[in-house]
Amino acid sequence: MIRHLVMPNEVSSSEAVLKFIAEEISVHSYVNIMDQYRPEYQAHEYPEINRRITHKEYLEAIQWAKHYHLIEGFR
C-alpha cells in the first residue's frame, strides 16, 4: 500500500506522484489518497500550506489516480 497525502495548493504534486507510481512501480499498486492534512506547528508561516485541502483538491487527486489507471482501492 502506498499512501499519498494531498496537500493544499498542489504542494504534494499529486499528478507527478501518481504518474510515477503508475509508470515506475505498477498500475496494480494499492494507493491510499489521504485528505487528512491539517496545518500544525509552524505551518502558519507558510501561506501555501496554512489551510486544509478543499474537496475539489481531493477530487482532483482521485481523478489523476484514475487517469493513470491506479484503480486499486477505488472500486
- pLDDT tens digit sequence for 20-59: 999 999 999 999 999 999 999 999 999 999 999 999 999 9
Residue 43 lies in a domain: yes
| pLDDT interval class at 75 (50, 70, 90) | low
Residue 73 lies in a domain: no
Residue 40 lies in a domain: yes
Structural domains of the chain, count: 1
Residue 53 lies in a domain: yes
Spatial distance between the Cα atoms of 33 and 37, rounded to a whole number of angstroms: 11
**Shortest CA distance to 16 belongs to which of 65, 51, 74?**
65
Q: How far is CA 59 from CA 47, 55, 62, in A?
A: 22, 6, 5
Structural domain that includes position 51 = 2-67
Residue 74 lies in a domain: no
Spatial distance between the Cα atoms of 36 and 39, rounded to a whole number of angstroms: 10
Residue 33 lies in a domain: yes
Residue 72 lies in a domain: no
- What is the value of pTM for the model shown? 0.88
Residue 52 lies in a domain: yes
